[in-house]
């Protein structure tokens, strides 16, 4: 008896819906009807909920009929929907599509991205390829393969955040721990690029780096660098200086006052540091240049033979230069920003100026 009742209820409801659909010509009306009858709280669903009171075989029978009716109705709704008009004929619900919409605020590039794009264009025009590397790097690539073995005192110059996985692996005959570090510089990509491309090679590597460091007007714990690497036969320091000059001219659109001094990095030999005269105080000394009048911007040098070997390149045949530009500091100097911490501050008053 209960089964018969439910079958009747379902068939009657189907007919009622089909009758109402005859007059439904607009999408909104169709949508409302679909929700009213087939929606989660709709009449059709209510009947289905009563099925739980039936015996299992009865439930199967009614369930089948219910699914069949539901599919038919959904198909009908779909058909009518594709023929129906968007607009309601009643004037009160008329939508004037010619009215201007709400203005969507347009975003723009971050100053670091602007400078990075400019540098990428400059270097690709000189035949360099753009390479990328992981920000979470192995201790091996970040230090060891750059001639900085474990316990080398020069590791102190770049303190970072370690992830200790306590596992040992063998690579190139050497035992390596699987320790991971947030990379302290973009230099590990030198090795990755040498292993990937071999020699000759010209690449630049923009990217974010991390150091465990107290912040001030010219130091951040998270900042950007751009690594440069050129390897070929007979590369000398003259090629390096010429490329650095081209880089600065491309960014500042004029010849910059620079000073070159010796610099120590275990992965280059010899090593140099190129500083530019602080553009914030014009060399008069300010917090942005640590009261020195100069800003350390471009450390560089000739790639150490051990590093070439780690990269799988024969140092007897090839030589190369490398530099590690402080991209964030370059952006500071280009735009006259006196505190490096503004870049990652998320302060829209600052960001909207670019
Ligand atoms: C390095 O990171 C070397 N890998 C660079 C290098 C590459 C040398 C290839 C030779 C050959 P250094 O620690 O000096 O070197 O950092 C490079 C540049 O990053 C600095 O000149 C500076 O401009 C920038 N820099 C360093 N530390 C910070 C910091 N805490 N905040 C902002 N910029 C920084």
Quote the domain boundaries for residue 210.
111-351
Report pLDDT for 267: 96
Ligand 1 centroid vs 280 CA: distance in angstroms? 20
Closest C-alpha to ligand 1, atom 3:
324
Q: How far is the CA of 168 from the centre of ligand 1 (A)?
A: 29
Atom of ligand 1 nearest to the CA of 329: 23
Pocket test for ligand 1, best of 329, 330, 333, 337 (most atoms within 8 A of CB): 329
pLDDT digits (tens, 9 = 90+) for 135-174: 999 989 999 999 998 878 878 777 777 776 656 666 666 5
Quote the ligand 1 centre to 324 CA distance (angstroms). 6
**In sequence order, what E strands does the chain have?**
129-130, 136-138, 162-163, 168-171, 174-177, 180-182, 201-210, 222-232, 258-262, 268-277, 294-303, 319-326
CA of 326 to the centre of ligand 1 (A): 6
**Pocket perturbation via mutation, ligand 1, pick of 239, 265, 322 by most ligand atoms within 8 A of CB:** 265
Question: Whose Cα sits closest to atom 24 in ligand 1?
Answer: 326
Q: Which residues pair with 216 in a beta bridge?
A: 219
- Do both 252 and 311 map to the same domain? yes
- pLDDT, position 182: 92
Q: Quick one: 163 and 238 in the same domain?
A: yes
With a pLDDT cut of 70, the percent of the chain lying above it is 93
Contact 65, 7 (CB under 8 A): yes
143, 216, 326: residue to mutate for ligand 1 pocket, most atoms within 8 A of CB:
326
Long-range contacts from 95-98, C-beta under 8 angstroms, 24+ separation: none
DSSP-based helix, strand, coil % in the chain, nearest 5: 45, 20, 35
Q: Tell me the CA end-to-end span of the chain in Å, nearest whole number.
A: 77
Please tell me the least confidently modeled range out of 9-13, 96-100, 261-265: 96-100
pLDDT tens track for 194-212: 999 999 999 999 999 999 8
- Note whether residue 151 is domain-resident: yes
The confidence score (pLDDT) of residue 51 equals 78
Q: Looking at 92, 123, 154, which one is the last position of a domain?
A: 92
Residues 50 and 133 in one domain: no
Q: How far apart are CA 228 and CA 202, in angstroms?
A: 8
User: 57, 92, 127 — which closes off a domain?
Assistant: 92
Are 213 and 197 in contact by the 8 Å Cβ rule? The answer is no
The number of distinct structural domains making up the chain is 2
Six-digit token string for 161: 């955040």
Residue-wise pLDDT for 218-274, tens only, equals 999 999 999 999 999 999 999 998 999 889 998 888 888 889 999 999 999 999 999
CB within 6 Å of ligand 1 — which residues? 158, 185, 187, 211, 213, 219-220, 223, 225, 265, 268, 271, 296-297, 299-301, 322-324, 326, 328-329, 340
Residue 209: CATH number of its domain? 3.30.930.10
pLDDT-above-90 percentage for the chain = 51
> What radius of gyration, in Å, describes the C-alpha atoms of the chain?
34
pLDDT tens profile 174-183: 555 568 889 9
């Amino acid at each position: 008896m209960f089964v018969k009742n439910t079958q009747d209820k379902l068939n009657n409801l189907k007919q009622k819906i089909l009758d109402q659909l005859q007059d439904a010509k607009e999408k909104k009306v169709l949508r409302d009807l679909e929700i009213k009858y087939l929606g989660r709280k709709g009449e059709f669903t209510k009947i289905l909920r009563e099925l739980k009171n039936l015996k299992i075989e009865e439930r199967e029978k009614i369930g089948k009929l219910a699914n069949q009716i539901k599919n038919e109705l959904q198909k009908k709704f779909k058909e009518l929907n594709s023929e129906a008009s968007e607009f309601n004929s009643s004037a009160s619900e008329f939508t004037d599509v010619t009215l201007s919409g709400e203005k969507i605020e347009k975003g723009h590039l971050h100053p670091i991205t602007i400078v990075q794009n400019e540098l990428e264009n400059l270097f690709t025009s000189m035949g360099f390829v753009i390479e990328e590397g992981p920000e979470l790097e192995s201790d091996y690539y970040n230090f060891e393969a750059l001639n900085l073995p474990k316990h080398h005192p020069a590791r102190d110059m770049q303190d970072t955040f370690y992830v200790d996985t306590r596992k040992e692996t063998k690579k190139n005959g050497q035992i390596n721990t699987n320790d991971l570090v947030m990379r302290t510089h973009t230099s590990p990509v030198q090795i990755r690029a040498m292993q990937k491309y071999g020699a000759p090679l010209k690449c630049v590597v923009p990217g974010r780096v991390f150091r465990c460091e107290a912040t001030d007007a010219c130091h951040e714990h998270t900042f950007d660098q751009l690594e440069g690497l050129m390897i070929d036969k007979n590369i000398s320091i003259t090629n390096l200086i010429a490329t650095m000059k081209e880089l600065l001219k491309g960014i500042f659109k004029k010849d910059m006052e620079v000073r070159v001094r010796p610099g120590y990095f275990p992965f280059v030999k010899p090593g140099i540091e190129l500083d530019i005269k602080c553009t914030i105080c014009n060399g008069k000394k300010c917090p942005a240049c640590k009261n020195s009048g100069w800003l350390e911007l471009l450390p560089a040098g000739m790639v150490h033979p051990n590093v070439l070997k780690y990269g799988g390149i024969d140092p007897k045949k090839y030589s190369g230069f490398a530099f590690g530009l402080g991209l964030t500091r370059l952006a500071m100097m280009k735009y006259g920003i006196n505190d490096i911490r503004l870049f990652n501050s998320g302060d829209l008053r600052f960001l909207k100026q670019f």
